[in-house]
Copies of this chain bind each other. A is one copy, B any other.
Amino acid sequence: MAFRYCRTIRFHETDAAGVVYFANVLTLCHEAYEAALGEAFIDVADFFSTSNPLPIPIVHAEASYFKPLRCGDKIAITLAPLRLTPYSYEVRYTLTYQQSGQQSRPETHLLTQSLSAAQSQNERPLATALTRHVCIDKTTRQKQIIDPRLDDWLNEPAAIAAPDD
């Protein structure tokens, strides 16, 4: 399900070139992923801890950068998960400015919303990213079927893909 996470860029995320350090864009995306899991009633402290017997680590990540982000910028990260196999999924992220004319959306009021075609055309992204995740047994590191408690989050038809939204 598509999910929107809003954030203000902070000073520690910038570097001496005056803009957000490239790897921190992936960190921002992971924050949005954590927020999305939280909204889906996943306990993130357990989910990401060493005591989780079936962790779902990232096996691949990538990001493309279109415009620099500066300290104080108010950005929105829209993400949608996509199940790849019984063992794996991908999350795709789009970073935009929070739209002018809209109330800044608070971090903890995380809107789960469909994105109209109009909206996605109007907002040219600042960056895009994806993370690919595979569920493994913590001890053997063999592939495992993803915990069904994630099914709702993974299987719900992503509003973002609805043709006539």
Contacts and interface: CB of A to CB of B under 8 A. Distances in A.
A62 B65 contact: no
A62 B23 CA distance: 10
A4 to B, nearest CB: 13
Contacts of A68: 57
A92 interface: no
Interface in A1-48: 6-8, 10-12, 14-19, 21-24, 26-27, 30-31, 34-35, 38, 43-45, 48
Contacts of A139: none
A107 interface: yes
A50 to B, nearest CB: 4
A115 interface: no
A115 B61 CA distance: 26
A45 B70 contact: yes
A71 interface: yes
A105 to B, nearest CB: 7
A58 B65 contact: yes
Contacts of A27: 10, 12, 21, 23
A107 B8 contact: yes
A142 interface: no
Given A11-B31, A12-B31, 13 more contacts: A6-B108, A12-B15, A12-B21, A16-B48, A16-B50, A18-B49, A18-B50, A23-B24, A60-B64, A61-B62, A62-B63, A104-B108, A106-B108
5 contacts: A7-B107, A16-B16, A21-B27, A26-B61, A60-B62
